[in-house]
Amino acid sequence: MSGFPILSLMLLVPLAAALACLYLDAKSARVVALVATLVDLALGIVLWMNFDVGGAQWQFQERHELFSGFSYALGIDGIALLLIMLSVFLMPICIGASWNSIEKRVGEYMAAFLLVETLMIGVFVAQDIFLFYMFFEAGLIPMYLIIGIWGGADRIYASYKFFLYTLLGSVLMLVAMLWMVHTAGTTSVPELMNYDFDPKVQTWLWLAFFASFAVKMPMWPVHTWLPAAHVQAPTAGSVILAGVLLKMGGYGFIRFSLPMFPEASAQFAPLVWGLSMAAVVITSLIALVQDDMKKLIAYSSVAHMAIVTIGLFAFNPQGLEGSMLVMLSHGLVSGALFLCVGIIYDRLHTREIARYGGLAINMPRYALFFLLFTMASIGLPGTSGFVGEFLSLGGIYQASSWTALICTTGIILGAAYMLYLYRRVVFGDQKNADAAAMVDLDARELIMVGALGLAVLWMGVYPESFIAPMRADIAALDARLARAKPEGDAKLAMGKQKPAHEEAAAHEGAH
């Protein structure tokens, strides 16, 4: 496998297909898009199979110097691998979700999606900080188009809001990147990850990156673009937005903020905890009162992303691995939930919860899968949602019991708003004749939700498949963070009389 530019190929396949789609009629554009995304999925599987778990930190590296320091440098570690897998897994589902529901300008639509795929993968494989920046920011452009052209009635406002929020952050981040490259003398991400910046400067750099990542995440209170964007975006747009684009903020934290600015990260950890606690409580309560299905799930995403940020800033392996798993799980589950909304939206053309009801009667298969994803969103053990949430919360408990307590209330509130949604849509009697006449899942839909369902259960029952590739990377990050790690609030103190050997065991346990 060595030497074969598989990462470049993964970037190229959707890009070439995107160009082709621009010139094709609707029917062939759909086929080309599906084939291209499936090829990328196959390449992703090849990548995973060939990824040497426990081998070198950076694998599949490619490097071409362009001009003075700026280079086309690609490479992945386990963290990037998993997020790439998530992207290539969700893309064919997005194309499938758009198969019938998109009727105007299909070629351009598919081109936009394929371009998003290239850019997403680009974000995760880029090893040059400016290359990363280009992918990171350019990814918004096709997304902006998808919402603005194929979105709902209020799409212009939504896309504008989406854009305005992200603009501010990206400018600040760019300035910070320039400073970093200037100081460290390298544009290489792996080198920068091991460069020790002056802690005083770190503060400013951290804040500049934070401005960008917090919006992308999104963290409270810079989250209001998300519900607007989701509500207006077509189904597949929501799937990819929730599934992968939201993960870029988390990826940014784990790839840049934490390893490059450990002292500043520790310094600002209480800020992140505070915002996360606010997000869990506030956005969960907001989700409870929504009448619009997509808005409800969008708000729940903000609450879930807060579990990612507390895990990242817990400064221990459980927190870090937990937040990675929450990201992967949320990618699958919220994508699946948006897909579930899209499936009934295609039939009834409304997102208003009250228009549905009693779907368990006429759509039993749909009810089953919707239940599975609802439970995964709630974090039921055995589904993907649990493992990450549990590790993240367990991680933060070691750092701050208050934060853990407040954020764990998310399991109560999450159950409340998701089950309330499920009850109104699936339970109850059939109130509306048109909702009662909806047919159950067809083969295309069954394949899509079935694939997501299996992935959700796999990650819940045997998450080792997903933890193993990143274990070494997380351990390396944890080691790098160790010097700045904030002391937890537990401060276990032994009682007066105790056998010596048990004290030793207990101290081991406390770490």
Partner 1 sequence: MQHILIIVFLPLLAAIIAGLGNKQLGNVAAKSITTGALFVSCALSWPIFLQFLGGHAEASVVPVLKWVQSGAMTFDWALRVDTLTAVMLVVITSVSALVHLYSWGYMSEEPDQPRFFAYLSLFTFAMLMLVTADNLVQMFFGWEGVGLASYLLIGFWFRKPSAGAAAIKAFVVNRVGDLGFMLGIFGTYLVFGTVSIPEILHAAPGMAGSTIGFLGARFDTMTVICILLFIGAMGKSAQLGLHTWLPDAMEGPTPVSALIHAATMVTAGVFMVCRLSPMFETSETAMHIVAFVGACTCFFAATVGCTQWDIKRVIAYSTCSQLGYMFFAAGVGAYGAAMFHLFTHAFFKALLFLGAGSVIHSMHHEQDMRFYGGLRKHIPITFWAMTAGTLAITGVGVAGFAGFAGFHSKDAILEAAFGSGSQVGGFAFWMGIAAALMTSFYSWRLVFLTFFGKPRWIQSEHIQHAVHDAHGHDDHAHDDHAHDDHADDVHAHAAPELGSRGPDYSQHGDGTGGYHPHESPLVMLLPLIILSMGAIFAGYVFQHAFVSEGEGEFWKGALVFHEHLIHAMHGVPTWVKWAPFTVMALGLLTAWYGYVKNLSFPKAVAAQLGPVYTFVYRKWMFDELYNTIFVRPAFWFGNVFWKALDIGVIDKFGPDGAAWVVAKGSTYAQKVQSGYLYSYALVMLIGVVAAISWVIAG
Site residues for partner 1, window 149-168 (CB under 8 A)?
A: 156, 160-161, 163-165, 167
- The nearer residue to partner 1, 55 or 69, going by C-beta atoms, is 69
- The nearer residue to partner 1, 242 or 407, going by C-beta atoms, is 407
Two structure tokens written together for 485: 């790690």
Using CB under 8 A, which of 25, 53, 55, 402 touches partner 1? 402
Binding residues for partner 1 restricted to 93-122, rule: CB under 8 A:
none
The values of phi and psi at residue 221, to 5°, are: -100, 20
- The nearer residue to partner 1, 228 or 242, going by C-beta atoms, is 228
- Minimum separation from the CB atom of position 318 to partner 1 (A): 5
**Under rule CB under 8 A, residue 446 binds partner 1:** no
Using CB under 8 A, which of 9, 149, 285, 451 touches partner 1? 285
What burial letters (b/e) apply to 249-283, b meaning 16+ CB within 10 Å?
A: bbbbbbbbbbbbbbbbbbbbbeebbebbbebbbbb
Using CB under 8 A, which of 110, 126, 222, 245 touches partner 1? 222
Quick one: CA torsion of 475, 478, 480, 484, rounded to 10 degrees? -170
Instruction: Write out 339-399 in H/E/C secondary structure.
Output: HHHHHHHHHHCCCEHHHCCCHHHHCHHHHHHHHHHHHHHHCCECEHHHHHHHHHHHHHHHH
Window contacting partner 1 (CB under 8 A); options: 21-29, 133-141, 250-258, 443-451:
133-141
- In order, the DSSP letters of 213-248 are HHHHTTPTTS-THHHHHHHHS-HHHHHHIIIIITHH
Using CB under 8 A, which of 1, 19, 405, 437 touches partner 1? 405
**Under rule CB under 8 A, residue 287 binds partner 1:** yes
- The nearer residue to partner 1, 2 or 497, going by C-beta atoms, is 497
34 CB-near residues (< 8 Å, 6+ apart): 92, 95, 96
- The nearer residue to partner 1, 25 or 154, going by C-beta atoms, is 154
The burial of 482, by beta-carbon neighbours within 10 Å (0-12 exposed, 13-18 middle, 19 or more buried), is given as: exposed
Using CB under 8 A, which of 27, 64, 423, 444 touches partner 1? 423
Rounded Cα distance, 372 and 128, in Å: 40
Using CB under 8 A, which of 48, 195, 204, 427 touches partner 1? 427
Using CB under 8 A, which of 49, 54, 68, 200 touches partner 1? 68
Using CB under 8 A, which of 78, 237, 322, 453 touches partner 1? 322
Number of residues that bind partner 1 (CB under 8 A): 107
Binding residues for partner 1 restricted to 491-510, rule: CB under 8 A:
491-499, 502-503, 505-506, 508-510
- Minimum separation from the CB atom of position 199 to partner 1 (A): 23
**Under rule CB under 8 A, residue 184 binds partner 1:** no
Cβ atoms 230, 298 nearer than 8 A: yes
> Pattern of binders to partner 1 over 22-61, x per CB under 8 A?
----------------------------------------
Strand 59-67 and strand 70-76: pairing? antiparallel
- Minimum separation from the CB atom of position 489 to partner 1 (A): 5
Using CB under 8 A, which of 113, 210, 253, 390 touches partner 1? 390
Window contacting partner 1 (CB under 8 A); options: 33-41, 199-207, 392-400, 436-444:
392-400
**Under rule CB under 8 A, residue 439 binds partner 1:** no
- The nearer residue to partner 1, 443 or 505, going by C-beta atoms, is 505
- Minimum separation from the CB atom of position 43 to partner 1 (A): 28
> Pattern of binders to partner 1 over 329-368, x per CB under 8 A?
-----------------------------x-xx--x----
Q: Which residue has tokens 């509130």?
A: 413
**Under rule CB under 8 A, residue 482 binds partner 1:** no
Measured from the Cβ of residue 29, the count of other Cβ atoms closer than 10 Å reads 26
- The nearer residue to partner 1, 4 or 402, going by C-beta atoms, is 402
- In order, the DSSP letters of 15-64 are HHHHHHHHTS-HHHHHHHHHHHHHHHHHHHHHHHHH--TTS-SSEEEEEE
Distances from the Cα of 332 to the Cαs of 136, 368, 373, 507, in angstroms? 21, 16, 9, 38
Using CB under 8 A, which of 99, 130, 204, 458 touches partner 1? 130
Strand partners, 63: 73
Strand partners, 67: 70
Window contacting partner 1 (CB under 8 A); options: 16-24, 254-262, 386-394, 436-444:
386-394
- Return the half-sphere exposure (C-beta side, CA atoms, 13 A cut-off) of residue 456: 30
Amino acid in the structure at residue 15: L
Q: Which residue has tokens 């979105």?
A: 151
**Under rule CB under 8 A, residue 221 binds partner 1:** yes
Q: Which helix (H) or strand (E) holds 510?
A: none
Binding residues for partner 1 restricted to 225-254, rule: CB under 8 A:
225
Cβ atoms 222, 166 nearer than 8 A: no
The values of phi and psi at residue 289, to 5°, are: -100, 10
- The nearer residue to partner 1, 16 or 419, going by C-beta atoms, is 419
Window contacting partner 1 (CB under 8 A); options: 98-106, 264-272, 331-339, 426-434:
426-434
- The nearer residue to partner 1, 26 or 436, going by C-beta atoms, is 436
